[in-house]
Copies of this chain bind each other. A is one copy, B any other.
Amino acid sequence: MKAMEEKILKDGVVLPGNILKVGTFLNQQIDIAFMTEVGKEVARLFAGQNVTKVMTIEASGIPFATLIAQAMGVDEVIVKKHASANVSGDVYSAEIYSYTHGNSYTAVVSKEYLKETDCVLLADDFLACGNALKGMMKMVEEAKAQLVGCVAAIEKGFQGGGDELRAKGIHVESLAIVEKMEDDGSILFR
């Protein structure tokens, strides 16, 4: 999506350690008008595939997933990073290593929100190594639901997670794929 690449070039900041900060529009401050258009674009990319749920993991991908679900006219499911008193009963769970935070956590989702009849689109703000997506895929598989595909607002192509999933035949869309980032701030797209 040309508009996503332009937005990254305009507002993104490259920080040491391969961090691309896009907090001004994607995941800390949300440019709602722009992200509403992004949601519509994702709906176009997965049109006709009978998606019944858009699933994400808390927290930074939630606005992105919310606006995709809205554009698709379906409900959103949010995987929790930790069990709490609000997540009761049977759950699907997955151990996920977070690249951003440098730790592992046990993500959970109530079984009542993921059914065998669901066709699920997984969404996240970033796709780097793909650990969060792989954790959610395990949940979809355990639920015997159908995985329609994965979408990321921004993929860090050089970290390989997206290509690994594509090689397995999974339909992965990213609105921008960053191939290279330099400490001088330059960004090269695939």
Q: From residue 110 to 160 of chain A, which have CB atoms closer than 8 A to chain B?
A: 110, 112-113
The residue of chain B having its C-beta at the shortest distance from the C-beta of A74 within the complex is B32
Query: Range of interface residues on chain A?
Result: 35 or more
Instruction: Tell me which of A1-9, A20-28, A162-170, A179-187 binds B.
Output: A20-28
Out of B29, B58, B77, B110, name the residue touching A77 (CB < 8 Å): B29
Q: Is there an interface contact between B85 and A17, defined as CB atoms closer than 8 Å?
A: yes
Q: Which of B32, B58, B67, B70 contacts A59 (CB 8 A)?
A: B58
**Contact status of A88 and B24, CB under 8 A, knowing A33-B73, A58-B59:** no
Bound together, the chains give a CA A30 to CA B68 distance in angstroms of: 12
User: A2 to B32, alpha carbons, bound, how many Å?
Assistant: 27
- What are 16 contact pairs spanning A and B, CB under 8 A? A21-B86, A23-B87, A28-B77, A28-B78, A28-B87, A28-B109, A30-B75, A31-B75, A36-B70, A59-B81, A60-B78, A62-B62, A62-B63, A63-B78, A67-B70, A84-B101
